[in-house]
Amino acid sequence: MHLLSLLVWLPLLGAVLVLAVGDQRPMLARILALLSMLVCLALCVPLYAGFDSGSAAMQMVEKMVWIEAFNIHYHLGVDGFSLPLVLLTCFFGVIVVVAGWVSIQQRVAQYMAAFLILQGLMVGVFAALDGMLFYIFFEAMLIPMFLIIGIWGGERRVYATVKFFLYTFLGSVFMLVGLIWLYLQSGSFDILTWHDFPLSLRAQQWLFMAFFIAFAVKVPMWPVHTWLPDAHVEAPTGGSVILAAIMLKIGGYGFLRFSLPITPDGSAALDWLIIAFSLIAIVYIGLVALVQQDMKKLIAYSSIAHMGFATLGFFVVVAIVRDAGVTDAANMGLTGGMVQMISHGFISGALFLCVGVLYDRMHSRQIADYGGVANSMPWFATFAVLFFMANSGLPGTSGFVGEFFVILSSFAASFWYAALAGLTLILGAAYSLYLVKRVIFGDVKNKAVAELQDLSAREFAILGVLAAAVLLLGVWPDPLITLMQPSVDQLLSHIIQSKVS
Amino acid sequence: MNTDLHIILLAIPLLPLFGAVLAGLFGRQIGRAGAHWITILAVAGSLLLSLYVFKLIVFDAMPAINTSIYTWAVTGGLKFEIGFLIDSLTVVMMTVVTFVSLMVHIYTIGYMHDDPGYQRFFSYIALFTFAMLMLVMSNNFLQLFFGWEAVGLVSYLLIGFWFKKESAIFANLKAFLVNRVGDFGFLLGIAAIVVSFGSLDYAEVFAVAPTAVDQTISVFPGVEWALLTFVCICLFIGAMGKSAQAPLHVWLPDSMEGPTPISALIHAATMVTAGIFMVARMSPLFELSEVALSFVLVIGAITALFMGLIGLVQNDIKRVIAYSTLSQLGYMTVALGASAYSAAIFHLMTHAFFKALLFLGAGSVIIALHHRQDMREMGGLRRVLPITFVTAWLGSLALMGVPLFSGFYSKDIIIEAVHLANRPGAGFAYWCVLLGVVVTAMYSLRLLFLTFHGEPRMEQSVREHAHEPGWVVTVPLILLAIPSVFIGYFSIEPMLFGGFFGDAIHVAAGNDVLAEIGSHFHGPLAMAVHALVTPVFWLVVLGSALAVAIWFWKPQLAVWCRQRFSPLVHVLDRKYWFDEIYQAMFARGSARLGNGLWRYGDIAVIDNLMVNGSATLVGWCAGLLRYLQSGYLYHYAFAMIVGLIMIIFTYIILA
């Protein structure tokens, strides 16, 4: 079974079919898109079941020669880091198709096809084990997202798309140089070969910076984050969901797959940079989120702050390992960062869907236009409060797990890292619940709010599934953590092993 | 441990959770009666099972149970588990929580009778009961933190229960955020514990902690603090948030925006005592740090006296009781700081009964007057509300510490313990708690006089319709009045001097002030008789005499006092300006900071200067270059000639 190949190419095949059906028959296009996404989700079952969580090795590996002259392979596989992200991607594929069922009425087939293509490429990014293959998926992924924002987006969509595209493109150029340099040195594009390839400290530092720029833009980290609020504000709901839930994770995943194992000494020399940017993201961006007037912008800023926990977790580990060796605290940092990524996928996706529910009815994202939504939409209010609570890291929801681990872990590196990161307890709650106060609670603000219809069965189902995921992951994160433990241990052994020859 | 007991322990928190989920998600289907029956039966079931476990632990002398339920996560060598630690401390808390919760559930049927959010309310209070039980039954810091935040969540939801009210949704946000400030400290404490001791399990941490007395932590370069002092103060900051100790007390008075039953349950009897419980639970850690205990002592003493003083000038009946709660929580904290943990828990228990009683009594008054809470519009209600009147008097006498009443025993022991304690701050704390006794007597009697005595001051129409609410309100009042009066008399000896808490509370050898008190203890009756010759009793008399004079005998004296002491009254009216300072510094300050960072950092520097700036720069350069490509042949020819001349000149000069 070529499960990973199927997950990459099936959605692309689905996209071709959907496009063949065309915009004239929107319902058929929707149904075909949903079927393709459901098949992918179904394929995740054997993928998960067949995965041996006791092993750190790459699994479901597929490898064949692609471009012999440059030793480029079509090489796919998953480990404890990429598997959860692949599953998350397939999960959200179904969600976005259902979420766009009614609200997208223009160019339905093209919309659905764009998401199908995007999904296949994103799975490809997570599963690619060849540097060039990774780069191609990484870049190709921009195109459907560019179209999604550019065609179905809001008023300033052109500005947002250009900014989004140029930012990410600029970042990845540096990575491309790094990849080619690595090939010239090692004679291979195999990522796993690079993991064990000795490099001088100087080379590692250059490579580290090249990867850093590419992934920092993607995460995004302060100060290269300003494309995200614009992209989110202009994107249609589905675009925002995928952007927040999956695409941002690619940056974090890149750090795990490239920076840490390929340039461990470079990471150890420059970890302070990422730690500092992550802490700035948590505190500075938290404060900025507090004063936003646009709901999507607020959630976008909140995403940056939350992704700061993932990068903080990954790189305090380097500081801990350097000072104290491989300890439980180091393990907790990597685990926490990973859990934070998965959890942020669910929560931010859910929050953007919540804004979408309101936007579909009121055509406004401005906080000031709302007030007292709980009066007319009690079920919606219940879900929204749950997701915003999860966003502020309430124990019992998934939002708590990652932040908890990362704060605990950063305490082992420095009291101040933990204290600054811990400020999220206050800031995260402040911007999340301040929004809840203004939008959800209060007396009915105006006639439009009074006439709001509560969730439809379709919306209820989407938010219900996400709520279940957020609660389950909060109450029992063990299955997810168990899945990634061997990979965490292996990465730790890479981090501690100096590659300077 | 046998599986039956395992199931019983699981059922105690899960029954209310089950009730909460049913009432919350299927409220419309099961209807109003369905919601209150399901949750009441669930909580009653919890109470009965808790009593059974109480019997096993206390009367059958069963050893403490420490068991894990499931593994939450494993990272590396660290195992995070959800589990229960059931010992004498836990069973006291479980019984108090479920008993008061049950009373409040029943009372709610009457209080929330006309409210459209009836089912939602029952769902929330049942959910609260679940969260609180998880908190007290925990055997590890993770679950403690889970319960800690979960009760905060329910408190948030309940303060903002009437979410149309602007003041209510302001108060609940404030409560949550102030609690989060405390939790920030709490989480750092937990982080220090994990990193230093490699475990979150109480038993394991307590076992390792004594070996760490000499360890230090360096927060500021060059300054070494004792690790355990750091840990304990961080944990206590969490307690300051939850148990509303100064300066994190500001949320509790505002929490009175919520319906009265939850003021009784959450903001008097149970949730706010979580901090007290936590410190008592952590006694093996706190006993290792004299500095932390002194800190606890002083914070408690400040809260006990200065919050009580504010209670003297409040006019809202619920706010008087709220400030009284703050002051009494201060007493409990003082007891903790004096190493008299059992006395703190003892006062927690008696206070839970009489303060829940007082709140529910106030609620009864509020229903009778159709949701009027201002005491200036009350008066003379003793004839209209006889049961409320009598029970409120009983509760107040207990609160004041009149001999033989439950509050007398618990409070007297605390004062005595502080007197005997000899750690730094004990002298200050002793004076605070002594003066606090006068203040307590004054505000308690003021409330009674203004509400129940004197001439009715409410509108005619309100007075005519005022009548005692039905049995669902009065029965809980009576059931709470009984322990408010008697529980101190019957439980002081076994609980404080009978080794009741055993290993659950640890007191270091030199700190055991309660043992010293115990050596002079000759039974509760003798203690009451002896009290007549102690200063505490005469301070109660003094406070009562002042209250009688000012608010009962000569009401014009109250007016005179307000004028005579107007600067002092003003300070109390403004509540020492805590709200204003916090509002300006933190609320507006962070908004201003956020706005500044956004406008200048994100928009001006990053976006306009760097991002759009570089785009503009590229455009500008391209614009310049465009001049070179005008498409006119003579331009190119001219450029070629200029270039040629320059090359020739360069060549000549260099040559």
One-letter-per-residue 3-state SS of A437-500: HHHCCCCCCCHHHHCCCCCCHHHHHHHHHHHHHHHHHHHCCHHHHHHHHHHHHHHHHHHHCCCC
Residue B399 has pLDDT above 70, yes or no: yes
Is residue B277 within 8 Å of residue B133, measured between CB atoms? no
The angle, 0 to 180 degrees and rounded to 10, between the axes of the packed helices A264-290 and A415-422 is 30
Query: What residues of chain A, 18 to 57, have a C-beta less than 8 Å from chain B?
Result: none
Tokens of A470: 């957020």
Residue B631 has pLDDT above 60, yes or no: yes
Residue type, B479: L
Q: Which residue has the tokens 């990465």?
A: A491
Query: What residues of chain A, 424 to 443, have a C-beta less than 8 Å from chain B?
Result: 425-427, 429-430, 433-434, 437, 440-443
Tokens of B522: 């000759």
Chain B positions in Cβ-Cβ contact with residue A375 (cut-off 8 Å): 164
Instruction: Say yes or no for a CB contact (<8 Å) between A430 and B590.
Output: yes
Intra-chain end-to-end CA distance of chain A, in Å: 40
Interface with B, mutate which of A404, A407, A435 (most B CBs under 10 A): A404
Confidence (pLDDT) at B213: 86
DSSP annotation of B198 reads S
Chain B positions in Cβ-Cβ contact with residue A372 (cut-off 8 Å): 163-164
pLDDT band at A177 (very low <50, low <70, confident <90, very high): very high
Question: What average pLDDT is seen over chain A?
Answer: 92
pLDDT band at B22 (very low <50, low <70, confident <90, very high): very high
Confidence (pLDDT) at A148: 92
Confidence (pLDDT) at B220: 84
Chain A positions in Cβ-Cβ contact with residue B145 (cut-off 8 Å): 395
Number of CB pairs, chain A paired with chain B, less than 8 A apart: 146
Dist CA B488 CA B349 (whole Å): 9
DSSP annotation of B62 reads P
Instruction: Say yes or no for a CB contact (<8 Å) between B195 and A411.
Output: yes
Is residue B474 within 8 Å of residue B401, measured between CB atoms? no
DSSP annotation of A263 reads -
Residue in A closest to B80 by C-alpha: A478
Confidence (pLDDT) at B472: 87
Confidence (pLDDT) at B380: 85
- Residue A378: is the preceding peptide bond cis (ω within 30°)? no
Dist CA B253 CA B326 (whole Å): 9
Name the phi and psi angles at A111, rounded to 5.
-60, -50
Residues B292-324: b if buried by 16+ CB within 10 A, e if exposed = bbbbbbbbbbbbbbbbbbbbbbbeebbbbbbbb
Question: What average pLDDT is seen over chain B?
Answer: 91
One-letter-per-residue 3-state SS of A59-89: EEEEEEEEEHHHCEEEEEEECCCHHHHHHHH
Chain B positions in Cβ-Cβ contact with residue A404 (cut-off 8 Å): 187
Residue type, A98: V
Dist CA B106 CA B111 (whole Å): 9
Residue in B closest to A227 by C-alpha: B607
pLDDT band at A104 (very low <50, low <70, confident <90, very high): confident
| Residue B467 CB-density burial (10 A; 0-12 exposed, 13-18 middle, 19+ buried) | exposed
Measure CB to CB from residue A437 to each of B148, B173, B595 and give the nearest one: B173
pLDDT in tens, B353-390: 999 999 999 999 998 888 888 998 888 888 889 999 99
pLDDT in tens, A392-420: 999 999 999 999 999 999 999 999 999 99
Dist CA A135 CA B79 (whole Å): 38
Measure CB to CB from residue B153 to each of A223, A389, A443 and give the nearest one: A389
Dist CA A344 CA B345 (whole Å): 41
pLDDT in tens, B487-515: 999 999 888 887 888 888 888 888 888 88
Is residue A454 within 8 Å of residue A376, measured between CB atoms? yes
DSSP annotation of A370 reads -
Average pLDDT on A149-158 reads 88
Considering only the C-alpha atoms of chain A, give the largest distance between any 2 of them, rounded to a whole number of Å.
71
| Residue A135 CB-density burial (10 A; 0-12 exposed, 13-18 middle, 19+ buried) | buried
Q: Which stretches of B363-493 are assigned E, i.e. beta strand?
A: none
Tokens of A372: 């007292």
Instruction: Say yes or no for a CB contact (<8 Å) between A287 and B601.
Output: no
Comparing B654 with B155, which gets the higher pLDDT? Answer: B155
Instruction: Say yes or no for a CB contact (<8 Å) between B74 and A226.
Output: no
Instruction: Say yes or no for a CB contact (<8 Å) between B173 and A434.
Output: yes
3-state secondary structure of B104: helix
Query: What DSSP string runs through A288-329?
Result: HHHT-SBHHHHHHHHHHHHHHHHHHHHHHHHHHHHHH-S-HH
pLDDT band at A20 (very low <50, low <70, confident <90, very high): very high
Tokens of B267: 């903001």
Q: Does A220 touch chain B (CB under 8 A)?
A: no
State the Rg of chain A over Cα: 22
Confidence (pLDDT) at B498: 79
pLDDT in tens, B249-260: 999 999 999 899
Average pLDDT on B596-613 reads 84
Is residue B489 within 8 Å of residue B130, measured between CB atoms? no
Residue type, A185: Q
Residue closest to A475 by CA, chosen among B70, B139, B186: B70
Instruction: Say yes or no for a CB contact (<8 Å) between B78 and A332.
Output: yes
Chain A positions in Cβ-Cβ contact with residue B217 (cut-off 8 Å): 415
Name the phi and psi angles at A102, rounded to 5.
-105, -40
pLDDT band at B575 (very low <50, low <70, confident <90, very high): confident
Residue B1 has pLDDT above 70, yes or no: no
Is residue B224 within 8 Å of residue B218, measured between CB atoms? yes
Instruction: Say yes or no for a CB contact (<8 Å) between B72 and A476.
Output: yes
Dist CA A119 CA A87 (whole Å): 11
Bridge partners of B226, per DSSP, are B216
Chain A positions in Cβ-Cβ contact with residue B597 (cut-off 8 Å): 284, 287-288
Instruction: Say yes or no for a CB contact (<8 Å) between B191 and A408.
Output: yes
Chain A: nearest CA to B544, how far in angstroms?
A: 43
Other Cβ atoms less than 10 A from the Cβ of B610: the count is: 14
Pick from A311-315, B23-27, B629-633 the range whose average pLDDT is largest. Answer: A311-315
Instruction: Say yes or no for a CB contact (<8 Å) between B188 and A411.
Output: yes
Chain B positions in Cβ-Cβ contact with residue A158 (cut-off 8 Å): none
Instruction: Say yes or no for a CB contact (<8 Å) between A395 and B71.
Output: no
Dist CA B636 CA B629 (whole Å): 8
pLDDT in tens, B277-294: 999 999 999 999 999 999
Interface with B, mutate which of A291, A400, A454, A484 (most B CBs under 10 A): A291
Residue in A closest to B148 by C-alpha: A395
Confidence (pLDDT) at A163: 87
Tokens of A455: 């969730």
Q: Does A420 touch chain B (CB under 8 A)?
A: no
Residue in A closest to B146 by C-alpha: A395
Query: What residues of chain A, 358 to 377, have a C-beta less than 8 Å from chain B?
Result: 372, 374-375
Residue closest to A391 by CA, chosen among A356, A422, A350, A420: A350
Interface with B, mutate which of A316, A389, A426 (most B CBs under 10 A): A426
Chain B positions in Cβ-Cβ contact with residue A289 (cut-off 8 Å): 594
Is residue A10 within 8 Å of residue A40, measured between CB atoms? yes
Instruction: Say yes or no for a CB contact (<8 Å) between A433 and B173.
Output: yes
Dist CA B553 CA B565 (whole Å): 20
Residue B235 has pLDDT above 60, yes or no: yes
Say what the alpha-carbon torsion angle B527, B529, B534, B540 is, to the nearest 10 degrees. 100
Q: Does A221 touch chain B (CB under 8 A)?
A: no
Q: Does A226 touch chain B (CB under 8 A)?
A: yes
**What is the percent of chain A with per-residue pLDDT over 90, rounded to a whole number?**
82
Intra-chain end-to-end CA distance of chain B, in Å: 103
Range scoring the smallest mean pLDDT among B68-82, B125-139, B175-189, B208-222: B208-222
Range scoring the smallest mean pLDDT among A14-23, A299-308, B53-62, B218-227: B218-227
Residue in B closest to A440 by C-alpha: B163
Q: Does A170 touch chain B (CB under 8 A)?
A: no
Measure CB to CB from residue B164 to each of A291, A442, A476 and give the nearest one: A442
Tokens of A334: 């990597």
Instruction: Say yes or no for a CB contact (<8 Å) between A426 and B180.
Output: yes
Confidence (pLDDT) at A501: 66
Dist CA B43 CA B127 (whole Å): 10
Measure CB to CB from residue B180 to each of A412, A429, A444 and give the nearest one: A429
